[in-house]
């Protein structure tokens, strides 16, 4: 993204400044608050640089709320606010060595005036999420994100899941330190590979993966993410006084902190430049992502004299390395099928080394991405690593085209099973809807056996994976033809387990029709809609014969969902599966007796907390049997919130909106 270079007058400058402020605020919100960046760090940096240069040229146009004057980021709803004891400031970015020499001249002048020795510490700028950790008497008591620099989010419980954050220091001191939470390069690649297999959206880079993970409201999710931390500053200490930043880092290591391993003490600016170049050369070999090198004055007393602005310290700057971009040839585009049927085009490349890794293939995301960049098979292209991790195609060298290049078209049929490939209105993804597609087998069977579907106790993903790997099952219907000895062979002394599983499988044959419909995994058909369909059509045969018009006449079924259901049941694979399930004795009919009691008709309930006498599913079923609806979110359309023990944010929201809150005893009276 290139900035405008020729500003003719102040009015033009004012217009461009406003335009840049809107752009940077939008992209900063995506980056800091939503952890979902839309442009590269380099493109954002160039926008900020242009804005800063214009504001420097016309200082009377500077506003206090400009991102050049404050730290980006806000406090996410759901977290407690924490006011930082010492503000967590940002850094002034520079993009050339000339700016570093200018910085050095300013520092030398102040050092000379105050008869101080000038040294620098050069450190890697870790690409992660900045946090402050507070210790009392050597015990970890609180941790918070940077937020807007003055107020952050209390993420203490999430930080406790990171193994390199000591809960107790080797010395009983009071101290506040600052660090960067990150995900290592290898760990990030593995995390994204797993997400790709499960058809979850990929993290754009390691920084946003770390930030998105740490800002989860559920600490159990955080515990399963490979978060790490490097400490890089003492914010405040009541127990010990430091005069050298470099010495303070050594002390942090001594008392048990995981300190940034790249910290180079420099006696002059030439050594600083050399250190930056050395880090740049070693960058591909680092086990963690960086987005620059930080240059800091070492003398802490001199720092106080130099001072700071509201946003940045004047005694430090960050040098940003340019992204490495390489040319290669796109030899072919093949399609991969994920576990939910999403088909992803993959570019096969002439191998090329980018940021230390040999790249021979990379994702092309989807059909729209390919068309937008006009990517063709045989093209010479530029690739770079987003966040120095994910290889991506950033441009086509069209002047090198020979006319032999071929346009790519998404397949109409799945390359794995031959099932129909569909792309729903409003979606970018194309997907195979073949229920017997081998690429989807594990996901399909796991969903079929899950609690919300056929509820086959003991048949979890790990067991299913073993059954598939041993060739005992290939599709959903094979579950009902499993032999006792096949299941028993999966475990040592597995006869009891096998018998329990056989019993659970047999019991599932008696499930009501809605569980079967849910278990089939029809796109956009969950347990609630499955109940509505079962009640409406009474049998699987009736549902299979339903027209799009019949389906669309149901209030909860829109055009897209109606098309999904209709197309699903017209697939040969689906018809074949249903016949196999019938032969196995699986119930295909609606068993419940419809109630004429519609006392909750038109009412919306939200359930929160732990109920003593009902599971969530049981309470939901009672409400729905009386004609009501349940929702997972509290809004103005909610009529009742049924609150059990340890009700949380939903209860608070209900009270804020003035929505009727009922307890379990009141609910019993309503249904008696």
**CATH (domain of 474):** 1.10.150.20
pLDDT tops 80 at residue 89: yes
For residue 171, the model assigns a pLDDT of 93
d(CA 265, CA 507): 70
Which of 398, 418, 419, 422 lies closest to 410, judged by CA? Answer: 422
Region label for 115, one of left (φ > 0), alpha (ψ between -120 and 50) or beta (otherwise)? left
Residues 91 and 235 in one domain: yes
Classify residue 419: in a domain, yes or no: no
Range of the domain at 656: 604-671
Mark which of 263, 288, 319 sits at the end of a domain: 319
**What's the whole-number average pLDDT of the chain?**
87
For residue 35, the model assigns a pLDDT of 53
Residues 154 and 298 in one domain: yes
For residue 587, the model assigns a pLDDT of 96
Low-confidence winner among 313-327, 343-357, 564-578 (lowest mean pLDDT): 343-357
Q: Which helix (H) or strand (E) holds 123?
A: strand 120-126
For residue 355, the model assigns a pLDDT of 65
Identify the residue with better confidence: 185 or 74.
Answer: 185
Q: What is the mean pLDDT of residues 70-91?
A: 73
CATH of the domain at 665: 3.40.50.10190
CA dihedral 411, 367, 443, 415 (to 10 degrees): 20
* pLDDT classification of 36: cutoffs 50, 70, 90: low
Residues 46 and 94 in one domain: no
pTM recorded for the entire structure: 0.51
Classify residue 45: in a domain, yes or no: yes
Residues 482 and 580 in one domain: yes
Could you read off the pLDDT of 118-131 as tens digits, one per residue? 999 999 998 888 99
* pLDDT classification of 370: cutoffs 50, 70, 90: very high
Q: What is the mean pLDDT of residues 10-16?
A: 82
Q: In 10 A of CB 294, how many CB atoms?
A: 22
For residue 76, the model assigns a pLDDT of 45
pLDDT tops 50 at residue 365: yes
Residues 531 and 642 in one domain: no
d(CA 232, CA 125): 10
For residue 201, the model assigns a pLDDT of 72
Residues 123 and 206 in one domain: yes
Residues 91 and 200 in one domain: yes
Mark which of 319, 340, 366 sits at the end of a domain: 319
Q: What is the mean pLDDT of residues 509-531?
A: 92
Q: Please indicate whether residue 125 is annotated as part of the active site.
A: yes
Residues 315 and 343 in one domain: no
Tell me the pairing of strands 604-608 and 629-631: parallel
Could you read off the pLDDT of 592-636 as tens digits, one per residue? 876 678 889 889 999 988 888 888 878 888 898 888 888 888 888
Residues 367 and 492 in one domain: no
pLDDT tops 50 at residue 4: no
Count of structural domains within the chain? 5
d(CA 102, CA 453): 66
Which of 321, 320, 275, 313 lies closest to 107, judged by CA? Answer: 313
pLDDT tops 90 at residue 325: no
Q: What is the mean pLDDT of residues 564-590?
A: 94
pLDDT tops 60 at residue 389: no
CATH of the domain at 271: 3.30.470.30
CATH of the domain at 367: 2.40.50.140
For residue 580, the model assigns a pLDDT of 95
Identify the residue with better confidence: 496 or 196.
Answer: 496
Could you read off the pLDDT of 182-234 as tens digits, one per residue? 998 888 888 877 777 766 777 767 777 888 888 776 777 777 788 999 999 99
For residue 454, the model assigns a pLDDT of 96
| CA 334 to centroid of chain Cα atoms | 26
Could you read off the pLDDT of 632-669 as tens digits, one per residue? 888 888 999 999 887 877 888 888 899 999 999 999 99
* pLDDT classification of 1: cutoffs 50, 70, 90: very low
Could you read off the pLDDT of 402-454 as tens digits, one per residue? 999 999 999 999 998 888 898 877 788 898 888 888 888 888 899 999 988 99
Low-confidence winner among 158-172, 214-228, 547-561 (lowest mean pLDDT): 214-228
- Long-range contacts of the stretch 369-376 (C-beta < 8 A, 24+): 369/428, 370/333, 370/345, 370/408, 374/398, 375/330, 375/333, 375/347, 375/408, 376/330, 376/401, 376/405, 376/406, 376/407, 376/408
Q: What is the mean pLDDT of residues 503-519?
A: 95
For residue 452, the model assigns a pLDDT of 87
> What share of the chain has pLDDT > 70, as a percent?
92
* pLDDT classification of 2: cutoffs 50, 70, 90: very low
Classify residue 286: in a domain, yes or no: yes
CATH of the domain at 35: 1.10.287.610
Classify residue 75: in a domain, yes or no: no
Q: Which is the catalytic residue, given 125, 263, 311, 531?
A: 125
d(CA 5, CA 26): 22
Classify residue 68: in a domain, yes or no: no
Residues 310 and 196 in one domain: yes
Could you read off the pLDDT of 285-319 as tens digits, one per residue? 888 888 899 999 999 999 999 999 878 899 999 99
Rg, C-alpha atoms of the chain: 30
d(CA 214, CA 157): 10
Classify residue 505: in a domain, yes or no: yes
For residue 75, the model assigns a pLDDT of 45
pLDDT tops 50 at residue 7: no
Q: What is the mean pLDDT of residues 453-477?
A: 92
Classify residue 5: in a domain, yes or no: no
Mark which of 552, 584, 616 sits at the end of a domain: 584
Residues 149 and 48 in one domain: no
Q: What is the mean pLDDT of residues 356-369?
A: 84
Contact (Cβ atoms closer than 8 angstroms) between residue 549 and residue 535: no
For residue 33, the model assigns a pLDDT of 60
d(CA 434, CA 626): 36
Residues 116 and 235 in one domain: yes
Classify residue 594: in a domain, yes or no: no
């Amino acid at each position: 993204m290139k900035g405008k270079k020729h500003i003719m007058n102040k009015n033009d400058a004012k217009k461009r400044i406003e335009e840049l402020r809107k752009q940077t605020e939008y992209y900063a919100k995506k980056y800091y608050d939503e952890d979902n960046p839309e442009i590269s760090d380099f493109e954002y940096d160039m926008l900020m640089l242009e804005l800063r240069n214009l504001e420097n040229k016309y200082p009377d146009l500077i506003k206090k709320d400009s991102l050049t004057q404050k730290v980006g980021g806000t406090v996410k709803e759901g977290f407690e606010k924490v006011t930082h004891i010492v503000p967590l400031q940002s850094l002034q970015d520079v993009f050339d060595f000339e700016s570093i020499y200018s910085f050095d001249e300013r520092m030398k002048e102040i050092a000379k005036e105050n008869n101080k020795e000038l040294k620098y510490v050069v450190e890697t700028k870790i690409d992660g999420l900045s946090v402050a950790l507070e210790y009392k008497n050597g015990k970890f008591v609180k941790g918070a994100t940077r937020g807007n620099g003055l107020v952050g989010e209390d993420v203490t419980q999430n930080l406790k899941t990171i193994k390199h954050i000591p809960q107790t220091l080797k010395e009983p001191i009071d101290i506040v330190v600052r660090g960067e939470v990150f995900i290592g390069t290898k760990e990030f690649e593995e995390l994204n590979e797993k997400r790709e297999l499960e058809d979850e959206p990929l993290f754009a880079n390691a920084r946003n993966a770390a930030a998105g993970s740490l800002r989860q409201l559920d600490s159990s999710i955080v515990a399963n993410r490979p978060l790490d931390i490097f400490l890089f500053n003492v914010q405040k200490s009541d127990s010990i006084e430091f005069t050298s930043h470099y010495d303070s880092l050594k002390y942090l290591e001594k008392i048990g902190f995981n300190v940034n391993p790249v910290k180079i003490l420099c006696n002059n600016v030439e050594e600083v430049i050399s250190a930056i170049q050395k880090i740049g050369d070693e960058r591909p070999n680092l086990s963690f992502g960086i987005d620059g090198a930080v240059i800091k004055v070492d003398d802490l007393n001199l720092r106080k004299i130099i001072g700071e602005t509201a946003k940045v310290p004047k005694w430090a700057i960050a040098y940003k390395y340019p992204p490495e971009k390489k040319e290669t040839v796109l030899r072919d585009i093949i399609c991969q099928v994920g576990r939910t049927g999403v088909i992803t085009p993959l570019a096969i490349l002439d191998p090329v080394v980018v940021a230390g890794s040999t790249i021979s293939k990379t994702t092309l995301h989807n059909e729209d991405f390919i068309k937008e960049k006009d990517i063709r098979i045989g093209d010479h292209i530029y690739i770079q690593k987003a966040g120095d991790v994910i290889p991506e195609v950033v441009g086509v060298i069209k002047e090198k085209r020979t006319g032999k290049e071929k346009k790519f078209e998404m397949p109409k049929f799945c390359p794995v099973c031959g099932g129909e490939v569909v792309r729903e209105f409003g979606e970018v993804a194309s997907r195979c809807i073949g229920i017997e597609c081998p690429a989807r087998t594990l996901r399909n069977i796991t969903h079929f056996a899950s609690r919300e579907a056929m509820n086959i106790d003991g048949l979890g993903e790990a067991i299913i994976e073993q059954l598939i790997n041993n060739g005992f099952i290939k599709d959903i219907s094979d579950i009902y033809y499993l032999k006792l000895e096949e299941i028993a062979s999966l475990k040592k002394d597995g006869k009891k387990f096998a018998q329990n599983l056989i019993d659970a499988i047999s019991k599932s044959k008696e499930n009501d029709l809605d569980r079967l419909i849910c278990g089939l995994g029809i796109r956009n058909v969950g347990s609630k809609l499955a109940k509505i369909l079962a009640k409406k059509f009474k049998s699987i045969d009736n549902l299979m014969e339903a027209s799009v018009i019949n389906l669309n006449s149901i209030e909860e079924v829109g055009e897209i969902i109606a098309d999904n259901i209709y197309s699903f049941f017209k697939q040969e694979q689906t018809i074949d599966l249903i016949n196999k399930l019938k032969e196995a004795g699986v119930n295909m009919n609606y068993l419940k007796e419809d109630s004429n009691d519609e006392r909750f008709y038109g009412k919306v309930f939200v359930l929160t907390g732990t109920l003593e006498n009902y599971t969530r599913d049981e309470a939901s079923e009672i409400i729905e049997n009386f004609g009501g609806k349940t929702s997972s979110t509290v809004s103005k359309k909610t009529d009742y919130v049924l609150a059990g023990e340890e009700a949380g944010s939903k209860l608070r929201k209900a009270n804020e909106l003035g929505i009727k809150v009922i307890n379990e005893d009141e609910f019993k009276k309503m249904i008696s």
